[in-house]
Each structure stands twice: as structure tokens, then as C-alpha cells.
């Protein structure tokens, strides 16, 4: 009877350990997918923002669309910052979080300039926004290696 109880406890412990490993793999896959999607979003923003800024310089409706897009970028960056990060991805997540802080600060500055009526398309190019988006894009290889 005692051997049977030890066997049951051992099997139960092994089962729990197996579930934990499966959960960790799931977290890893989810994070890698989320990070890749976020970096793809940043690539898309880097392509779209210059044209949006150019249009916003002369069209009040385009200016509102630019502001909405900038708000969406900040929201997406904030959501990504809250991701469930596996331990092995802490370093890259910290890099992305740092870039997000820079991005948010720069977007706030651009939003203020738009509201003050002092916005030009060159401002977007001359801020760290575009450079930061490029740096985020540069992390794609590292994120893809996380998934391997």
C-alpha cells in the first residue's frame, strides 16, 4: 500500500512538472509571436507615418488621422509592454520597452506641436520617432531567434 501511495504521488508530481513545462513553452511561443507582431507593426508605422505627416501639413482631416494613428501607436506600445515575458526573453523585452518609452515621449511632443498648430512633416523626420521605429525593426532577427 505504501509503495502504491509513493507511486501515485510521484506520478502526480511528474504530471504537474509536465504541465508547467508545457505552459512555459506556450508562454514562449506566445511572447515570440507577440513580439514579432509588434515589430511588424513598427515597420508598418515607419512606412506610413511620413506620408501621413505630409498630408497632415495641409489637410485638417489628415491631421486628425495622424493624431489618431499616433494615439494607436502609443496604445499598442503600452499593450506590448504588459506582455507576459518568459525569462529567456527579458533582455530583448527590456530593449523594446526602452524604445517604447522613447517613442511615447516623442509622440507626446509631436502631439503637442500638432495641437499648437506648429507641426510640419519635417518635425516627424527630425525626431527620434523614425529612428526608434527603425531600431525596433532591427530587433526582428533577435526575436525570430527566440522562437527557435
pTM of the model: 0.77
Nearest to 35 by CA among 73, 98, 92, 87: 92
Q: Quick one: cell of 82?
A: 504588459
Domain ranges for the chain, please list them.
Answer: 31-146
Q: Reply yes or no on whether the pLDDT at 61 is more than 90.
A: yes
Q: How far is CA 115 from CA 16, 22, 63, 111, 122, in A?
A: 56, 49, 10, 6, 16
Task: Give 62's pLDDT tier (boundaries 50, 70, 90).
Answer: very high
Per-residue buried b or exposed e for 42-63, using 16+ beta carbons within 10 Å of the residue's own CB: beebbeebeebbbebeeeeebb
pLDDT in tens, 71-87: 999 999 999 999 889 98
Question: What topology does CATH give the domain 31-146?
Answer: 1.20.120
pLDDT of residue 57: 86
Q: Reply yes or no on whether the pLDDT at 69 is more than 90.
A: yes
Asked whether 121 and 53 are in contact (CB, 8 A), the reply is: yes
Higher pLDDT, 45 or 145: 45
pLDDT in tens, 114-134: 999 888 888 888 788 889 999
pLDDT of residue 147: 62
Amino acid at each position: 500500500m505504501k509503495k502504491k501511495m509513493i507511486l501515485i504521488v510521484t506520478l502526480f508530481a511528474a504530471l504537474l512538472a509536465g504541465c508547467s513545462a508545457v505552459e512555459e513553452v506556450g508562454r514562449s511561443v506566445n511572447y515570440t509571436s507577440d513580439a514579432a507582431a509588434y515589430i511588424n507593426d513598427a515597420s508598418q508605422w515607419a512606412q506610413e507615418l511620413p506620408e501621413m505627416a505630409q498630408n497632415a501639413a495641409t489637410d485638417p482631416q489628415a491631421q486628425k488621422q495622424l493624431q489618431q494613428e499616433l494615439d494607436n501607436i502609443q496604445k499598442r506600445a503600452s499593450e506590448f509592454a504588459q506582455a507576459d515575458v518568459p525569462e529567456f526573453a527579458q533582455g530583448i523585452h527590456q530593449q523594446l520597452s526602452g524604445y517604447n518609452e522613447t517613442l511615447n515621449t516623442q509622440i507626446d511632443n509631436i502631439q503637442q506641436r500638432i495641437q499648437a498648430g506648429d507641426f510640419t512633416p519635417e518635425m516627424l523626420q527630425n525626431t527620434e520617432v523614425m529612428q526608434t521605429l527603425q531600431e525596433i525593426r532591427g530587433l526582428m532577427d533577435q526575436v525570430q531567434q527566440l522562437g527557435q
